[in-house]
Structure 1
Amino acid sequence: MPIPDLEAWAIFAKVAETGSFAAAASDFGVSNATVSKAMKRLEERLGERLIHRTSRRFSLTETGRVLAVRAAQILAEGEAVEAEAQAKSSQPRGRVRLAAPMSFGVSHVAPALPDFLTAYPEVTVDLQLDDRLVDLVAGGVDVALRIAELADSSLMTRRLCPVRRWVVGAPSYFARRGMPARPRDLKDHACLVYSYLATGETWRFIHLDGTEESVRVKGPLSATNADALQDALLAGLGVAMQPDFLAWEAVRDGRLVVACPDWAPPPLAINLVTPAGGPRAARVAVLLDFLAHRFTAGSAPWTLELAERGSI
């Protein structure tokens, strides 16, 4: 059985109600041609006329008068369904799939979520932590936090705050091995390597004066998660390139020291990323707003303290 032409029935109901193709087109915000084509489809499908129409007169046929009542019911039911759906969608409820890098997710996203879940008790969050790049569409992910300088893409992106990376080591390590004067000196140091770094074992730096320098590093430990390097760092086994949101407390407390402070790796940023396309569900919109407020520069805890102390 063919699918009912619900659009044509809705248009017929509006034509019968207003007594005019033009008025129906205006009410629905469509062209007169769209209304005419819908009526033609419906009459061809039924095999008889529903309307007598000339340049001066407009009237329903006998069949048209009978079917106009049913068409009006179809239109009213459709409008009621949409109104109910819109009312429900305006109330944040349901599950949101949120993806984040492992270290940032554990250190900052997970601790923030109780505040969000308390504010929106009908929303549930499926937090997916992975340092690998997640395909949002294929993975059914609603929102992702990505730490990168993102290239243009079809995804919707909102930049939240910059991420600085420091070469850090324990005071005991530098007491034993000496402090590198510039990045190229790191080739003679034990370097703890984050395996998912885009440049691999080559660390790139930019000096305050714009000079660039790269060095290929090696050391006793590499890991697919930056947190996994922290114990070896604090034990004085080497140096690592760590993001500020992970290392700031240890630097503040003196447990780690920043080497080559006039040199910095290319900047990154924390970004909110969502699939492109139609209007967002309320549950997604409120989570986006919450994360944006929590992790913008000046709101995130590590940016607040670093701002008070000045750049390290």
Structure 2
Amino acid sequence: MKLPDFEAWAVFASVVEHRSFSGAALALGVSKATVSKAITRLEGRLGTALFHRTSRRLTLTDSGQHLADHAQRILDEGQSAEEAAFESASAPSGVVRLAAPLTFGARHLSGLIAEFMTAHPQIKVELTLSDAFIDIVGEGIDVALRIAELPDSSLRARRLGPVNIHVVGAPDYFERMGRPQHPADLARHACFVYTNTATPGTWRFRKAGGEEAAVRVDGPLRTDNGEAMLPALRAGLGVARLPGFLVDDDIAAGRLEPVLADWVAGSVGLHLVTPPGSRRPVRVETLIEFLTERLRSLCVRQA
């Protein structure tokens, strides 16, 4: 039995990641011709084309798309094996690609990354901050933080803790417009809508006794970033439904006031999400364990 061409599989995974032969060659420290020969060799062995090649574009064929995850797992397993072998003799090293929500990342993650890099100077972090949904497999992300109730998927997810949600407005807004006593009252208020959800105009609530309510809301501001609502909230222009890490300081300072205290406006989870696969490089595991410890403590403090 012939052994698999592991080198060609690793080259294939690199081409998929970098979306070009030239990018893969640069990342691997080999010539473009070496990359091209490895892909041709693998295609010949498999009896199928892996890429559609034109002068301007390189795209995966159906077979290439199907085999890309297998190639990435082969590469990851090889890297993990080598790192495990060298772990006792040297510190973890290499690049970890991390994605997180924009405001949460800027407020709570950037300082932790500085602490992590100080403790692990040979690990480089590529940090992507965005409130948009990121395909972590397609984008080559090693670790992602998500604030949501996650649907079932093939991704590996670790819940780090709760993120409490509050309905808030400025005290002078409620003096003028009245304080809602029931979620249904919000239909008559100027509600700022966070658009990066499946049902942005519907706010759901539940009460300790089991009662539930859903209300359609609308107002003068719709945005995909919660922090962008804060100036208008402080100016008394409306009401918003936002996570505690965005509004806790304003509530403590009296700039914003929570309402509907008898109702739970939502408690989503902070999750650490990684691509499928049983093994990860040591550098990725090192960051995961660091973030798990620090962010669980943060969730406990803010619960």
Same fold (TM over 0.5): yes
Bigger CA radius of gyration: 1
Give 1:107 deviation, angstroms: 1.3
Q: Show the 5 A alignment for 1:1-312.
A: 86-88=84-86, 91-296=91-296, 299-300=297-298, 303-304=300-301, 306=302
Give 1:83 deviation, angstroms: 8.2
In 2, the alpha carbon distance for the partners of 1:190 and 1:164 equals 22
* Matched letter for residue 219 of structure 2: G
Give 1:109 deviation, angstroms: 0.9
Aligned with 1:252: secondary structure?
A: helix
Distance 1:255 1:89, change over 3 A: same
Percent of residue pairs identical: 47
Distance 1:140 1:175, change over 3 A: same
Render the CA deviation track for 1:35-91: whole Å, top value 9, x for unaligned. xxxxxxxxxxxxxxxxxxxxxxxxxxxxxxxxxxxxxxxxxxxxxx99865434563
* Paired residues of 2:83 and 2:281 also in contact (CA < 8 A): no
* Paired residues of 2:80 and 2:280 also in contact (CA < 8 A): no
Q: How many residues align?
A: 228
Aligned with 2:241: secondary structure?
A: strand
Give 1:4 deviation, angstroms: 7.6
* Matched letter for residue 120 of structure 2: Y
Render the CA deviation track for 1:240-281: whole Å, top value 9, x for unaligned. 000011111111221111010111234310000001113211
In 1, the alpha carbon distance for the partners of 2:151 and 2:248 equals 27
**What TM-score do the two structures reach when normalised by structure 2?**
0.70
Give 1:188 deviation, angstroms: 0.9
* Paired residues of 1:89 and 1:281 also in contact (CA < 8 A): no
Distance 1:5 1:281, change over 3 A: closer
Distance 1:240 1:210, change over 3 A: same
* Matched letter for residue 294 of structure 2: R
* Matched letter for residue 202 of structure 2: T
In 2, the alpha carbon distance for the partners of 1:247 and 1:222 equals 18
Render the CA deviation track for 1:195-224: whole Å, top value 9, x for unaligned. 113321111111121111111111111111
In 2, the alpha carbon distance for the partners of 1:119 and 1:156 equals 26
| Residue ranges of structure 1 left out of the alignment (5+ in a row) | 8-80, 308-312
**What TM-score do the two structures reach when normalised by structure 1?**
0.68
In 2, the alpha carbon distance for the partners of 1:82 and 1:155 equals 19
In 1, the alpha carbon distance for the partners of 2:286 and 2:250 equals 33
Aligned with 1:97: secondary structure?
A: strand
Q: CA RMSD in A?
A: 2.3
